[in-house]
Structure 1
Amino acid sequence: MGFRDRGLEIKSQAQIDQMRVAGLLVGETLELLRAAAQPGVSTGRLDELAEANIRDHGGIPSFKGYSHPPFPASICASVNDEIVHGIPGERILVEGDIVSIDCGAIVDGWHGDAAITVGVGEVTAEVRELMRVTEEALWHGMCAARLGGRVTDISHAVEQHVRSQGSFGIIEDYTGHGIGSEMHMPPNVPNFGRAGRGPTLVQGLALAVEPMVTLGSKESDLLEDEWTVATVDGSFAAHFEHTFTLTEAGPWVLTAVDGGRSRLAELGIPYGGR
């Protein structure tokens, strides 16, 4: 493992393979939670399911005890106007809610980090569109990454896709990040900006890309629990995230159960996984 270009952690192939183990556990945990996010289920129950699945498969929840004040749970569960870092608890999900579930796991010292937004029962067409645009922006961002390119090529692709789809707010105060032996590492990966800036994309660099998009304003507030971030105007927000890396063949989405093969194929991008 080496560090270059302003402190970036560059992994060997063997270390990327270890990250895939952690990433796959995160991806499988999120699929479990996607199915469980139904009317009548509490966000605390989703957290219990996540922690059990991670620990039962040899992992450690990345989020539990993280930072200050220590995050008290194994997932973030952000409902409706909550953008990110929602604390799971007694809140019961009801028909028409959306819940953004962010999940991280450590396996043998290596991290995976991903997020999905799930509609609870039937949601409005406007909210379905928000989720579609946000998830597509994530994939367009990863597909814009090329060896020798720059980090903001991803940022620009995320922004351009969102802007092309209608009037949405793109959260600017929270970004994607490098990931590997720690959950949050250089570089930051914004969800907006000009292409061609920032560190060079090289083999062995792993990034977590995570667009956060709202139906209204991009402005956000940190709530009194010192973790939950919500929209100022009360508009619904969606959040999707994957951890990915680049190989000579193309992107490898370490937190997608299939490595990203199917979505990359839909977008005409070669699959770079093993």
Structure 2
Amino acid sequence: MIHYKTDEQLRLIRKAGRIVAGCHAEIAKRLRPGATTLEIDRFAEEYMRSHGAKPAQKGYKGYPFATCASAGDVVCHGFPRDVPLREGEIVTIDMVAELNGWMADSAWTYAVGKVSPELERLMNATKHALYQGIAQARAGKRIGDIGHAVQQVAEAEGYAVVDAFIGHGIGRRMHEDPQVHHTGKPGKGKKLAPGMVITIEPIFVIGNPDFSIEQDGWTARTMDGSIGAQFEHTVAIKDGEAAILTKT
């Protein structure tokens, strides 16, 4: 069941989204060689709580941290670790803030120091795909239009989409209808309408998109060791351009 949000509810989600965006902006200053993702996780939790929000991921189905931190061949849902980051790595930080009962979700892939042209190209392509998907997220379009736009970027740039991990509706619950796949056919799937709030969060990998889940029940690691990147925003569907709710 899709929950359509009122203008007031959208305003509340946007407030949560601004906390997420502000936290990401601060994390960007802290992700340098020698830092650890466990330190980043502690900072993110403190930041959210100091702004009146709580980290919605912590405790969700037993998840033990405030953020997901995915580096190397971990494509998503990685546990923050007390291991220093190395120059040239990329790492994705994913977080959900809950403010007064309303949630907003955003993931961003960061370069640790100077990265190779190959990784920089991967990051740029994935981010471009996110915004191409957002461009299709407007009333009258369909979920398949979003997925198709993302898929076109992946195919043009020579990357694979890890489509098992999808976007979703969000509001009072972290995961609501509809499901938002990052591959698809134009004109297919659920029709988008004003008041819907969804996440778009493509993951691109350099090699094969197949992955396995580690014994912790969360960490998704590529089978062939391929490195991935992910970018995500929470957006509200409008008659015109979608409103990005997770930006300052």
Q: TM-score range by the shorter chain?
A: over 0.9
Matched, 1:122 2:114: yes
47-56 vs 149-158, which deviates more?
149-158
In 2, Cα distance between the equivalents of 1:173 and 1:145?
20
Change (3 A) 1:193 1:249: closer
Matched, 1:147 2:139: yes
Q: Which runs of 5+ in 2 are unaligned?
A: none
Q: Aligned residue for 2:24?
A: 30
Q: Aligned residue for 1:15?
A: 9
Q: What count of residue pairs does the alignment treat as equivalent?
A: 248
Where in structure 2 are the equivalents of 1:186-197 lying within 5 Å?
Answer: 186-197=177-188
Match of 1:158 among 150, 172, 177: 150
Deviation, structure 1 residue 178: 0.7
Q: Aligned residue for 1:268?
A: none
Deviations 1:101-145 (A, max 9, x none): 001100011000000000101111000000000000000001012
Runs of 4+ aligned structure 1 residues displaced above 4 Å come to none
Does the residue aligned with 2:46 lie in a helix, a strand or coil?
A: helix
CA RMSD of aligned residues (A): 0.9
Q: Aligned residue for 1:66?
A: 60
Matched, 1:225 2:216: yes
Does the residue aligned with 1:118 lie in a helix, a strand or coil?
A: strand
Output the TM-score relative to the length of structure 2: 0.98
Q: Which runs of 5+ in 1 are unaligned?
A: 1-6, 258-274
Q: Aligned residue for 1:263?
A: none
Matched, 1:42 2:36: yes
Match of 1:91 among 78, 83, 94: 83
Does the residue aligned with 1:230 lie in a helix, a strand or coil?
A: strand
Deviation, structure 1 residue 247: 2.2
2:124 corresponds to which letter in structure 1?
R
Give me the identity figure in percent. Answer: 37
Where in structure 2 are the equivalents of 1:247-258 lying within 5 Å?
Answer: 247-257=238-248
Q: Aligned residue for 1:246?
A: 237
